Structure 1
Amino acid sequence: MPIVKAQTFHKGGHHASCRERRAYLERDCRHICRDTINVVRPDSWDKELDASRASYALRGDVTYREYVISPSEGDRATAVQMRELAWKWAERNFPENEVVIVLHDDNRGRAQHGEDGIVHAHVIVNSIDLERGRKMNVSNERVRELHNSAQEIAGRMGLSRIEDYRVGERLRSHQERRMTHAERQMEIRGADGWKAVMRDMALQAREQSGTLREFQGCLRMADIDMEVRKNRIYLVDRDNRDHAVRADRLDRSLSAKELSRVFADSLKVDQRGKERIREKRLATELRREIERGRLEGQGDARRNELVAEMRRDKAISRKQERGKPQRAKERTPKRAEEKQAHALNRGKILPEISRGPEGLRQERELKHEGPRHER
């Protein structure tokens, strides 16, 4: 039953650099063994990890992370088993990071009671992802994966394991289930409201579905319609349309973001508005042209040309209705004359683009009151 305990080290904090952490882990040579992944110089791994992190100069205060993997006391795991467990776990979860594994068998609390220590592994993971050149991000879902992978590897090695995070998620609190006070009172009395029934149906459909389309089909079989409005999912009872509720208010796992992550299928929500209306009109006109026979016997290339031509004609017709190009052409020379007259009246004018002596003399004459008369 391995337990994965995570520690995060920041700039300016306790053991902010790997050099300080190594001094603690390998003090008085108390470590059993040391293994490295993606490290060129294992003997100076602390300097290499600090230099690698400094070379990227990325933002953020996290310098590195440490995961302590401890087995169950009843397993009586040996150093060889813990070394194999830590190596497989690190290689599986951090293949693109610089990793250092240090094994210990000393436990201060057990030593005080005269008991033997339990072999455990310290896994140092540098915060830089060497493949992407970016900082490592550990989300809540990532934490679950790290925990579950350790239990899976331990089970294959014959060690005991504890339940996955997925099993623990089934025992949800009232806050996680988004229950109101009235619903909680009904649950205490043993009565089921329409929201409770809809929640159970939706969660059951989520467990039985592999895609978003299958999820929607399971809801239809339960007489529940799924509607998408402004990137949010709403569930509506077919028998009573007044029984409508936002899905994420029933349970957090029913939100649009969570469902799209679980089903790996993006929710196709319409956000184009007027552009979609114009596309529909264009498709209608194209369909009419096809019915009229203009595209009979023509290939896809001709259809694309016709679509582009129709769009171009519409754009030209709109510009002609506004009349902006004609007014701009008429106004351009007049505005140029006004600017030149204004500059002449003030005695300032932009110099002419000329590099010969005549041009320079002409420019000099324009800047002054008038041409100089030769004596």
Structure 2
Amino acid sequence: MPVLKPISGHGSCAPVQRYLEKNGRALARDFFNFSETPDADLMREPEFGKPFDWAAEMDAFRAECGNDDPWNGKRARTFKHFVLSPSPEDEVSLDELRELAHAWALRFFPEHHIAIIYHDDNENRIPHAHIVVNNTNVVTGRRMHTDNPLDLNRALQEMAAERGLRALSNERPEPSTGFQRLAANEGEPRAKARTLQETYRSRAERRAEAAGGYSWVADIRNRVGVAKGLARNEQEFRSILVMMGVGIEDNSPRARRQDWIFSLADAPARRVSGERLGASFGKAALERRLLGARAEHLPDASSREILRLARKAVELKDLDELDSLSNALEVCGKWRIMSLDAADSAIAAQRGRLRNEVPASQETRIRKEIEALEHARDFLKERKALPLHDVNRRDGRASGKGGWAGEPSGSERSAPQREQPRERREERQR
């Protein structure tokens, strides 16, 4: 069975880096979620460049987020150092160990700096992994928190068993007494969502955007936003994500809430859970949206054109274009807009509300809605991504007539037809 030994770190990560890499004893190194992804063997072959100082980046980011400060009167836990040692009887190779260490670390710390250093300096020269995880989430800027530390080892045993390695069983014996059955009661309170904001932007993400830099979290959010705006079911949602270069998988079954994990296909280490992107991006919210897909949906021609524009934006790394597409689709979905006429009608309706006396807070919200509607209409009109009229409606506007297909206008109705509503009203009044 594999053994997991957790060690809490306090202070700089520099001493642990010196300890793990001194005298060139590291077999290999792996890094995740750093600003640059260095060659894993760079330290062993210095002619390719200077060694990567991963401790310095961990320390700088943690200090920038204020997470070196004491917490509740106690010294800050600045990093966690895990020693993952496979069973000697399994004779695990270095490549097998690296795959297991990657999977385990990214399962629990997908949004943290991770440095993994491999040694075989024990008695039997069995390779083992030293996994150093910074205490600061690179997406939210918050301190590390593990709801149930026992889950770390339980998951490792499960993952080892899945790979055919020796592992401890996590199965609990059936309760045999009344107290045991009471303790095994599964009536636990339901975990709350991470955020109630439809779209959530962390401090780190806002800081990157303000500096005009690239935010891979925003990139994933916009790609997922396009997919959820175009898809009519989960199968279409997954297919569009593939075309947009986004991977999707379930999070840990032991997580506090079930969610989807999204990642960039060309940078799989960049992973973020749906609810980290906002309440509307979580698995539960997306499943409800996709399960109850509206009959009103963008015309097929519009969907194809928007998908073409989105894939082109991904190819050109045009993040502004991708963001505008995602926002425009969100507006169309909210207001059930399928044509430019429908967008104009929604804008006119909101402007009509402003002509009435409304509280100042409500007026501000209405003006923001009008601004979003106008931006979406102008953006989609410029790119010719929406038809002028609703394709499901009768195109009689050239003669000033509207209405649904096959429905006669008021002037086309016969006199008896026009009299019927009045007769019914008079009958109800009698």
Q: TM-score range by the shorter chain?
A: 0.3 to 0.5
Larger Rg: 1
**What is the TM-score with the length of structure 2 in the denominator?**
0.37
**What is the TM-score with the length of structure 1 in the denominator?**
0.42
